[in-house]
């Protein structure tokens, strides 16, 4: 199948106008789309800001997954329908065979037939070992990387990469959810996460004590002013 050209800036503006009008147009994958068959269709869902990298969100036909791609991986050119293989013509009928009449021969005396010598069995050629087929890259699931990052002040964010494509941008996660998830993983992971959470708790307690002291000082100043 010929390689399809990607989306131009004019194509992107046209598709954005259709989305704003309430229409979800169809696009097709090019040969540059990693993990997707060229010519497969997908429904356009949204555009993300900024328009950099994989900012076009689509849902491939026959799938419930929402995935992000770049303009070079999509096209508005619909591929031509696949041609059905030609049916070979039927074989001509065989001509009728002539019937040969064989007259029986009666020998004068019975002759003992000589048993034929057995022929040596021909050695069968060894079957050539077929090379193992390599798994197709289209059927191999892309590698998924889940990253948890903390700012050191008790705040956490999660990010997901599917292969080299960022499918989930940095999203805030409650510390309690991080602690609960860490307990389901290896003990070493739970220990490291608990240490970070304890440090964040100590930092917040120190801040509370500082604010409490400042509040008491301000209250005392008001009392001295006769308020």
| Per-domain residue ranges of the chain | 9-75, 144-224
Distance separating alpha carbons of residues 155 and 148, to the nearest angstrom: 10
CATH architecture for segment(s) 9-75: Roll (2.30)
**pLDDT of the residue at 73:** 94
Give Rg (Cα) of the chain.
38
The pLDDT, as a whole number, for residue 105 is 53
The whole-angstrom separation of Cα 193 and Cα 150 is: 10
Q: 193-210 pLDDT, tens per residue?
A: 888 888 888 888 888 699
Q: Is 35 exposed, middle or buried (0-12, 13-18, 19+ CB in 10 A)?
A: middle
Query: CB–CB of 170/158 below 8 Å?
Result: yes
Q: At what angle do helices 175-183 and 187-224 cross, to 10 degrees?
A: 150
Residue 3's pLDDT is 47
DSSP bridge partners of 46:
57
Q: Is the dihedral of CA 44, 47, 51, 53 positive or negative?
A: negative
Residue 26: φ, ψ to 5°: -95, 145
pLDDT of amino acid 203: 86
Residue 166 burial (CB < 10 Å; 0-12/13-18/19+)?
middle
**Span 143-168, pLDDT tens digits:** 887 777 787 677 878 888 877 788 88
Q: Give the pLDDT of residue 100.
A: 54
Residue 46: predicted pLDDT: 92
Q: What is the pLDDT along the chain (227 residues), one digit of tens a residue?
A: 444 578 998 999 999 999 999 999 999 999 889 889 989 999 999 998 887 888 999 999 999 999 999 999 999 988 887 766 666 667 766 665 655 555 555 556 555 566 666 665 555 544 455 555 555 555 566 688 777 778 767 787 888 887 778 888 888 889 899 888 988 988 988 898 888 888 888 888 888 699 799 979 999 999 999 87
């Amino acid at each position: 199948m010929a390689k399809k050209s990607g989306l131009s800036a004019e194509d992107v503006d046209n598709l954005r106008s259709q989305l704003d009008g309430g229409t979800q147009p169809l696009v097709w994958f090019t040969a540059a789309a990693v993990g997707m068959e060229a010519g497969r269709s997908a429904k356009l869902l949204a555009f993300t800001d900024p328009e950099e990298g994989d900012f076009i969100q689509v849902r491939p036909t026959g799938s419930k997954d929402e995935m992000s791609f770049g303009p070079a991986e999509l096209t508005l050119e619909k591929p031509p329908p696949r041609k059905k293989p030609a049916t070979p013509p039927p074989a001509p009928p065989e001509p009728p065979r002539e019937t040969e009449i064989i007259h029986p021969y009666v020998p004068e005396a019975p002759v003992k037939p000589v048993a034929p010598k057995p022929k040596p069995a021909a050695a069968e050629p060894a079957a050539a070992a077929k090379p193992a087929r390599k798994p197709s890259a289209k059927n191999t699931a892309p590698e998924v990387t889940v990253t948890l990052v903390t700012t050191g002040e008790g705040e956490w964010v999660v990010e997901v990469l599917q292969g080299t494509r960022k499918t989930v941008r940095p999203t805030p996660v409650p510390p309690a959810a991080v602690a609960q998830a860490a307990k389901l993983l290896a003990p070493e992971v739970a220990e490291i996460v608990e240490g970070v959470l304890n440090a964040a708790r100590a930092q917040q307690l120190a801040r509370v004590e500082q604010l409490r002291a400042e509040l008491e000082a301000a209250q005392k100043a008001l009392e001295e002013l006769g308020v």
